[in-house]
Amino acid sequence: MKYFIGIDGGGTKTDCIITDENYNQLYSLKGGPLNLLSPPLSDSSRTILQLINSCLSKLKITLAHLDYVGIGAAGAGRIEESEKLEVNLKTLLPHSINLKVTTDAEVALEGAFNGKPGCILISGTGSIIYGKDQNGIIHRCGGFGKILGDEGSGYMLGKKGLIATAKEFDGRAEKTIITGLLNDKYQIQSGQDIINAVYKNNLDIAGVAPLVLASAANNDKVALRIIDEETEELLNLIPCMLKKLNKEYIEISFAGRLISTTNVFSVTLRNKLAASYKMITIKEPEYSPAMGAIFIAKKK
């Protein structure tokens, strides 16, 4: 019996599954973040090896039983980055293992449509839209990272929430529920506190997104405005993808915690999508991104 492992790594967590050769899922677990744009490379390799070893230990098997290992990682969009990790892992794993490293967006797309043409909109820590045409060619829009892009992402919600609180401390903007929630969770009570949290203590900015969602759910005007602005940013990715795919109608699947779970952001996005794009059908994923990683590893 041979076994396959699929790994889907993002900016906040990594999902891992192990299946038998008939794709029956035998065990799943979660690990820390996996982002190739956040060095060192050894951290990414360590995370992956820990997940693999946990799977093997659970099933009481060895590396010799592994056939395919597929890995989707945040920051692997550039071939140079994915190849670096792949080469590094090949020095740590037996040569008999068929290994493939690609981007987390590609494995999500592969899993959602089981290898068939389709489109996936991802919004978690970051954001991007991926599409596969009838010829199997992959197209993308967005995904330029937190400095140049990631509109409509958890990072952007968190950033705008922090900006709103900073302006409230200054007296430049209206009060928002976000400020009280920041104090409750991070003990941020002043402008100096927010500066220290962000620039000195490396506050997890994407981690502030749930506070913005909670504020919007309580009809906070500032938070609702942020939700409106950032859902519009995600919608702007769709005509870009339609043009690249040369299609008038597409099926689209959602991935990433911000839009794949039910919350004020995802509901607002779905309502806007239904109102503005009659030619779009939202499709539930056929398989998970981690399973998509296995499909890609076996295919390539």
Which strands make up the sheet holding 3-9, listed edge to edge?
25-31, 14-20, 3-9, 66-73, 98-103
Range of the domain at 58: 3-115+288-299
Are residues 111 and 15 part of one domain?
yes
The pLDDT value recorded for residue 38 is 64
Give helix then strand counts, H and E, for the chain. Answer: 13, 10
The domain boundary, picked from 230, 264, 280, lies at 230
Name the percent of the chain lying above pLDDT 90: 39
**pLDDT score of 207 more than 70:** yes
Counted domains in the chain: 2
- What does pLDDT average to over the chain? 87
Q: What is the pLDDT of residue 87?
A: 80
Helix (H) or strand (E) segment spanning residue 280? strand 280-282
Span 180-188, average pLDDT = 93
Q: What is the mean pLDDT of residues 83-99?
A: 79
Q: What is the pLDDT of residue 211?
A: 97
* CATH number assigned to the domain comprising residue 98: 3.30.420.40
Does residue 117 register a pLDDT over 90?
no
Residue 79 has pLDDT above 70, yes or no: no
